[in-house]
Structure 1
């Protein structure tokens, strides 16, 4: 279980509604934090102080059961703590997630070990072995793998958080009940982890060896002579050849990757985690994105020739790993029977460019994956370095080519990718392109989210597959998820908006249900009822339709009228009879303000931030509506520059005055007609910019709501600045700004919104 900010903040927020007595802050809490882990033993002054504080706090009222359990444990009342744990499990909130019999397994192991230790006089290690084996030997492979997840907590990564916990109170002489409870909650958690995690290491390995045949250092030679490394895990006791589940990754995190291979084996597959070229045991050159289509295909071929494989391989994974599955599919190897890509990237389309605009969100990623055979955690997670770099570059006015010069560390991959501003043959070679899809006749299940940064890539795969292959057997699951939750780590609250109960799905389980359906004849996952399966936010329901094209065809045309609606303009189904326009002026020399900085975080806002854009509002809807699909449109513009980066963002304005981010578009005008070739605009002439490469959303638009469309120019810290000279945008600087951009939004412009009454 990886330690996460969200998980840890839960601990801080789980101690509410308790009496507000004050307690003296123990001196040991204020001590130097160095050597903290070594001081976590029952004989230390720190632990004695925590016990004493727990005894005092336990006498007060109002503790929730989670906190009470930890206080009981700190005071040595392990039988009572175990009863509290049983009650916590019995009263789990299953409205979003199924009941978890292994909830806080570390605590159970610790409590039972301490009880046995007291009863038998055994050492902690001996007692722990008995308790651990008594639990794990009763579990099947799936159950044991799920249980072992709780043994994956990183003590090292937890130290900075514990410093934060202690630092919050170290400067105070007194603690409120709430602060004392928070301190003890987190201390007891870490104290238990510090005892249980090391003690479980050998036992986990023994349990894995009992259940699986594991080879962690497989070397695979490709036809090019490249050496790739892999981990292969197979369940013991299976005599017949079996299908393989392959996850191809550039992220060399040995423990996590082994766990993923074990998960596949626990589901009845030969689990294979293959490392990208140059990673882990490979000594070849690291070439992110460029060779995956060949290398992943070579791994599929290698698997198909192993005695333990039945000639069937399924690929799956998220983000880069999802891209790798598509890259392999480009070659249509006969052994590759299905792929399940989540939030899959398309290099050159979704990143490091979006609709031909270079964006900075992944700027540090090449350092992370290409600096060494592992991962460069130190540099990648140097928040002080990256935190203000985009603003520093933006304010400097220097060319985007000099972004790394502003930082002071050369980024060769960044520079190479800037050499390809069009979606040219360099990018096209990496994934299926046009007629490549004719050969991809395997079933595909894509998973993405409305707020996934790379959603346009996932939808591009889907649309192109159906466009170039009339027999495409491609399915989509999409809901209110972001890049992480669409891969399985969902939360009840996504960036400030509460999700419906029906929105909670188990992506890893759906993945193996799909593989079982394709490779073993099992039923489809229950959620997959048609080709496109989407959750309607706010309506707490899923809908299922034959195609995305069918959803997008059912639209209402709204014109950008000049007529005023308060301080804004109208978005109307009726086009104005008189020709007119709305003027927007953008000064590219202005580095104090940004245009189109409306990233959907949070998703719900108290006020509409226009970031210099022009706002067009619909009338109030008289009934509940459903906005489902991708919006598109035509922007008729006249301006005094040869090019411009355009943006459109949609919001729902709720009756209570709050604003919900719905969907967006961002793209370079000169590439709107053809992403592979630039066509500059003519200053002073009205140009029509048609667009459809937008983000999809599905949401109930409540009666009494309105929709706001903000049309804007993209000028902000997270992307190139297109000064409109017609030169390579990466070479333009503030010196090329010239006179301010004067852009007229013509009232012949329109948006096609996929909206209809909610049924």
Structure 2
């Protein structure tokens, strides 16, 4: 995970603000149980005489080093416009007390309530607060909003989810998300092992560090123990009862992000004042995101907060419910610097401008007419999926899907005639199918593609479903081999134009490695053609009023803090095929570089290597390994952390091995291996 700010000639750097700003560093916020959390606070210098509302960002990613550069462009900007902008490390992270035992625990929410109460009591505070956050900070913003603290008046949630089971890095469609579950757990395994800064907490840092090393668990073990949607995942999933949130929410994401779908669900279910924004971006704030066009998002955030925290009429509530970006057709590239397209506006979601259009499967074709009854066999090809791109791109080179012609020979593909007129799609495609499987455990993966007249095939959406979860994620049921079932597979949301002359392609497979952990045995599916098997596309009718919206200001931020580049970033992503042994491997390496911050003297860096491999015709050969190296230090204080995480399975169990090694200087001070065997539960 890269916490850096990419320089852009299109971004305006603001140094003069309406109010002069001061920064209060490493402020201790007391918790009700006696623990304390560490915070940075950016304030107008006259806030004691002229109190201000607060904006809280609440994260586990270390304000003093790993997110310091990112924080420097945003928090001073808010403070300069009349806010107390507060960045808090959650319990167990950075200099804050304690140990981080898992994601999104009740303790994390309880602490946030204590933080909000503390803010409301400060002399510089008006008593009104908002929250803003991307990813983890977007998740806990929603979760804290559901706790209804009286000081919290609104939130902006970016790249987040309302559903921790069905729409996060652990499980997708009831399938174990092999591309990300172990990787993300290994990331937090390494991150949680970083020590407090002795310059801030004193000599107690070492005792706390050894405590964190010994007692912070590999999160992946708990995640794999809960393979169905049980109370573990229901906790923190605000979709369990949307009515718990009674304040306005501004939900933001991008088409390259892994969490776009939640924007549409939130707009459908949250208070009527809530709004949504979806651009072409990866998993990042829209003022610094790729691909272009980035927008003046901090100005939009100010309009939102001014409306709800200062009681100013900024005009934002006169604007449409959803503003989104319809991308023009592009040839497949694993990296885009820019995505041409247009902004469109919808007054509600579901939108009155979007209607379903059905495309039926027949032979190898896609048709708008219901075909005659027939069927087709869809066999397992275990190496299907290596060119799917990453689940949640951060904007790094090589994140996106390659030309799908590399995949289509490993699936059954259905192709439409050339379109006579362009289609504009906005929302979720839904694949409806009548099918049977020859095993009691099976999955289905469906890809939707834009095929150019010259043959290139661009992946525009995909979805997958563990067929034992066809009726319920809470109560999966084995299949009866050979029995017909009617299922629906909801594909990821999209905003996409398909030009006239292009074709639609749908690919179907019972495998999608490394996105989905393979079924215990090789699966053959049978698809039955007729009125029950079709792709439902969300076709949007363009509106004349669309041109009135999406005229955002140019991106602007505060000045990026000084930093020295010690080691440059490097990325490689390779698919390796050993035809002699029939083994396919994806090797993904990211050197996130090393930097030094002159403001506090800290130097930090990270490297991450991930491999996924599988042998042809052998689903039980699936293997995932994730390795991290983190460095942190200053002057005569240096620590290094090395982690190795592995996962594999047989027909009945998953196997997990996690090893953590810590060094102070050149001395090894800690080494421990955690091992777990966990029964497979319909996965």
TM-score normalized by the length of structure 1:
0.60
Contact 1:645-1:667 within 8 A present in 2 as well: yes
Residues 49-88 of structure 1: matches in 2 within 5 Å? none
**Structure 1 residue aligned with 2:28, among 219, 227, 231?**
219
Name the SS for the 1:421 alignment partner: coil
In structure 2, distance between residues paired with 1:258 and 1:718: 32
Match of 1:518 in 2: 308
Match of 1:753 in 2: 537
C-alpha spacing 1:668/1:525, structure 2 compared with 1 (3 Å): farther
**Structure 2 residue aligned with 1:246, among 56, 59, 72?**
56
TM-aligned CA deviation for residue 556 of structure 1:
0.5
C-alpha spacing 1:441/1:611, structure 2 compared with 1 (3 Å): farther
Q: Deviations over 1:375-411 (max 9, x none)?
A: 9xxxxxxxxxxxxxxxxxxxxxxxxxxxxxxxxxx97
Is 1:576 matched up with 2:576? no
Is 1:422 matched up with 2:228? yes
- Structure 1 unaligned blocks of 5 or more: 11-91, 103-138, 144-210, 376-409, 563-568, 724-736
Q: Which has the higher contact order (CA 8 A, sep 6+)?
A: 2
TM-aligned CA deviation for residue 696 of structure 1:
1.4
Match of 1:586 in 2: 380
Is 1:650 matched up with 2:448? yes
Is 1:348 matched up with 2:159? no
In structure 2, distance between residues paired with 1:551 and 1:483: 29
**Structure 1 residue aligned with 2:149, among 330, 333, 343?**
333
**Structure 2 residue aligned with 1:273, among 79, 87, 102?**
87
In structure 2, distance between residues paired with 1:695 and 1:306: 44
Match of 2:458 in 1: 660
Q: Deviations over 1:690-724 (max 9, x none)?
A: 233x321112211111111112223413442222x
TM-score normalized by the length of structure 2:
0.66
Contact 1:584-1:614 within 8 A present in 2 as well: yes
In structure 2, distance between residues paired with 1:606 and 1:745: 21
Name the SS for the 1:670 alignment partner: helix
C-alpha spacing 1:374/1:605, structure 2 compared with 1 (3 Å): farther
Match of 2:476 in 1: 678
TM-aligned CA deviation for residue 278 of structure 1:
1.1
Q: Deviations over 1:269-316 (max 9, x none)?
A: 001111111122322121332233222222222212222211211100
**Structure 2 residue aligned with 1:302, among 102, 109, 118?**
118
**Structure 2 residue aligned with 1:282, among 96, 102, 105?**
96
Name the SS for the 1:673 alignment partner: coil
Contact 2:385-2:513 within 8 A present in 1 as well: yes
Contact 2:62-2:89 within 8 A present in 1 as well: yes
TM-aligned CA deviation for residue 101 of structure 1:
6.8
Contact 2:387-2:401 within 8 A present in 1 as well: no
Contact 2:366-2:416 within 8 A present in 1 as well: yes
Q: Deviations over 1:599-631 (max 9, x none)?
A: 375457384632622111222111222111111
Match of 2:351 in 1: 550
TM-aligned CA deviation for residue 597 of structure 1:
4.6
In structure 2, distance between residues paired with 1:533 and 1:5: 25
- Structure 2 unaligned blocks of 5 or more: 198-215, 329-339, 391-398, 544-683
Match of 2:275 in 1: 475
Contact 1:624-1:758 within 8 A present in 2 as well: no
Name the SS for the 2:524 alignment partner: strand
Q: Deviations over 1:432-465 (max 9, x none)?
A: 2432x213121111111111122234444444x3
| RMSD of Structure 2 on Structure 1 (CA) | 3.0
Contact 1:596-1:713 within 8 A present in 2 as well: no
Residues 503-514 of structure 1: matches in 2 within 5 Å? 503-514=293-304
Q: Deviations over 1:236-289 (max 9, x none)?
A: 123132100100011003133762432321221001111111122322121332
Is 1:629 matched up with 2:446? no
C-alpha spacing 1:651/1:525, structure 2 compared with 1 (3 Å): farther
TM-aligned CA deviation for residue 338 of structure 1:
0.8
In structure 2, distance between residues paired with 1:6 and 1:234: 26
In structure 1, distance between residues paired with 2:240 and 2:384: 37
In structure 1, distance between residues paired with 2:222 and 2:463: 26
Name the SS for the 2:69 alignment partner: helix
Contact 2:63-2:89 within 8 A present in 1 as well: no
How many aligned residue pairs are there?
491
Is 1:318 matched up with 2:134? yes
In structure 2, distance between residues paired with 1:526 and 1:576: 48
In structure 2, distance between residues paired with 1:667 and 1:456: 16
Contact 1:450-1:480 within 8 A present in 2 as well: yes
In structure 2, distance between residues paired with 1:342 and 1:653: 31
Q: Which has the higher strand share?
A: 2
Contact 2:388-2:402 within 8 A present in 1 as well: no
In structure 1, distance between residues paired with 2:322 and 2:5: 33
**Structure 2 residue aligned with 1:441, among 242, 246, 263?**
246
Is 1:364 matched up with 2:186? yes
In structure 2, distance between residues paired with 1:598 and 1:527: 39
Structure with higher Rg: it is: 1
Contact 1:551-1:754 within 8 A present in 2 as well: no
Name the SS for the 2:100 alignment partner: coil
In structure 2, distance between residues paired with 1:708 and 1:695: 16
TM-aligned CA deviation for residue 557 of structure 1:
1.3
TM-aligned CA deviation for residue 475 of structure 1:
1.0
Match of 1:614 in 2: 412
**Structure 1 residue aligned with 2:218, among 395, 412, 422?**
412
In structure 1, distance between residues paired with 2:404 and 2:385: 19
In structure 2, distance between residues paired with 1:338 and 1:677: 35
**Structure 2 residue aligned with 1:536, among 326, 331, 335?**
326
